[in-house]
Amino acid sequence: MKVLLIEPDHILALAYKQAFENAGFKAKICTNAQSAITTIDKMKPDAIIVEILMSGHSGVEFLNEFRSYEDWSSIPVFINSSIPEYNFGSNPKTLASLDIAYYFYKPKTSLQKLVYTVKEIIENKNDT
C-alpha cells in the first residue's frame, strides 16, 4: 500500500513517514500542493493524507483540484490537521463536498491511531 503525505513541516513529515513505513506502507512526502499533484500522477497512491494549513495553495485548494480529476476520484483522502474539524472553513458542507474519508485533529491523534485508521479504511475499500 502506498500513501502520499502532504505535510509542510519537515520534522512532522519524517515522523509520519516512518510510522507508515513501520506498518508496511510505502510512503512519500510532499510539502506543498503543487508538487503533490505531480507526485500523485507518478505514484498512484492508495491514500492521501493532507494538512490543510499549507502555504501557497492551501490544502482545500489542493483538494478542490484533486477532486476535479475523475481518475483520482476513488483515492481516499484523509485530513490530518492542526486545526480542529469545527474550524474547517465557513461552510459546513465543505468537508462533504470534498469527500474526506476521515478527519484527524493532530493534537488528539496518536501516530498509531493515524496509521491504523488509514490502513483499516484502505483495506475496507479494497474488500468492497
Partner 1 sequence: MPMLLDLQTHFLQVKAISESDNFNNYSLDQIQLLSKHSLMMMDYYLFSIDYLQTELPLTTVSAAAVALDVAENLRRLARAYDVCLDLDITQKLEPVYANESALKGILYGLASSLIIERQESKKVRVVIAAQETAPNIQRLGVYSPDVNMSPTSIKQSRILAGQARAAAPLEISSSGLGLMLSDQLTHALGSKIMRFTHRGQKGVGFYVPMSSQLSFL
Residues of this chain that interact with partner 1 (CB under 8 A) are 8-12, 15-16, 18-19, 22, 29-32, 35, 53-56, 82-83, 106-107, 110-112
Three-state DSSP class for residue 60? helix
Cβ proximity to partner 1: between 31 and 98 the closer is 31
Q: How far apart are CA 10 and CA 35, in angstroms?
A: 15
| CB 43 to partner 1: min, Å | 14
Q: How far is the CB of 55 from partner 1 (least distance, A)?
A: 4
Provide the minimum distance between the beta carbon of 39 and partner 1 in the complex, in angstroms, as a whole number: 10
DSSP-derived 3-state class of residue 9:
coil
Quote the least distance from Cβ 93 to partner 1, whole Å. Answer: 23
Residue 92 CB burial class (10 angstroms; 0-12, 13-18, ≥19): exposed
Burial 8-34, CB ≥16 within 10 A → b, else e? beeebbeebbebbeebebebbbbbebe
Contact 116, 97 (CB under 8 A): no
